[in-house]
Amino acid sequence: MANIALTSRCNLSCKYCFANELVGNGTADITMENFIKALEFSLPDGEVGLIGGEPLLHKSINEILSILNSTPEIMRVTLYTNGIYLNKIKRESIHHKIHFLVNVNSKDDIGEKAYKSLKANIKDLLFYTTRDRVTLGVNIYKENQDFTDILSLLDEFLFRRVRLSVVIPIDKGEGAFNYFMRMKKTLLSFCKELGKRNIAPCYDCNAIPECVYTDDEKELLASLPYENEHERRVFMGEASVCAPIVDIYPDMKASRCFGMSDYKVNIDDFKSISDLKNHFFMEIDSRLVHKTTKEECKNCYKQRVFGCFGGCLCYK
> Can you give the pLDDT at residue 22?
57
> Can you give the pLDDT at residue 6?
97
> Can you give the pLDDT at residue 18?
65
How many domains are contained in the chain?
Answer: 1
The CATH number that applies at residue 64 is 3.20.20
Dihedral-angle region of residue 62 (phi above 0 means left; psi in -120 to 50 means alpha; beta otherwise): alpha
> Can you give the pLDDT at residue 259?
86
- Tell me the average pLDDT of the chain: 91
Strand partners, 164: 138, 203
DSSP secondary structure of 214-259: -HHHHHHHHTS--SSHHHHHHHTTS--------EE-TTSEEESSGG
The model's pTM? 0.93
> Can you give the pLDDT at residue 24?
53
Edge to edge, what strands does the sheet with 134-140 contain? Answer: 200-203, 161-166, 134-140, 98-104, 76-81, 47-51, 2-5, 247-248, 253-255, 265-266
Compute the average pLDDT of residues 298-314: 81
Strand partners, 48: 2, 77
Distance CA 253, CA 250 (A): 7
Percent of the chain clearing pLDDT 70 (strictly above): 97
> Can you give the pLDDT at residue 183?
94
pLDDT digits (tens, 9 = 90+) for 133-187: 999 999 999 999 999 999 999 999 999 999 999 998 877 778 888 999 999 999 9
55 burial (CB, 10 Å; 0-12 / 13-18 / 19+) is buried
Residues in the chain: 316
> Can you give the pLDDT at residue 144?
96
Residue 86's contacts (CB-CB under 8 Å, 6 or more residues apart) are 56, 100, 102, 121, 122, 124, 125
> Can you give the pLDDT at residue 310?
82
Among the residue ranges 60-74, 101-115, 297-311, the one predicted with the least confidence is 297-311
Q: Which residue would you say has higher pLDDT here, 120 or 16? A: 120
pLDDT confidence band for 92 (50 / 70 / 90): confident
Per-residue DSSP letter, 128: H
By DSSP bridging, strand 98-104 and strand 76-81 are parallel
Compute the average pLDDT of residues 92-105: 94
> Can you give the pLDDT at residue 20?
59
> Can you give the pLDDT at residue 21?
57
Q: Which residue would you say has higher pLDDT here, 307 or 281? A: 281
Dihedral-angle region of residue 252 (phi above 0 means left; psi in -120 to 50 means alpha; beta otherwise): left
Give me the domain span that covers residue 113: 2-315
Percent of the chain clearing pLDDT 90 (strictly above): 69
> Can you give the pLDDT at residue 23?
58
**3-state secondary structure (DSSP) of residue 198:** coil
Give the closest residue to 104 by CA, choosing from 124, 83, 79.
83
Count the Cβ atoms, other than its own, within 10 Å of residue 39.
19
pLDDT digits (tens, 9 = 90+) for 20-68: 555 555 568 999 999 999 999 999 999 999 999 999 999 999 999 999 9
Among the residue ranges 125-129, 157-161, 196-200, 234-238, the one predicted with the least confidence is 234-238
pLDDT digits (tens, 9 = 90+) for 181-227: 999 999 999 999 999 999 999 988 878 889 999 999 999 999 999 99
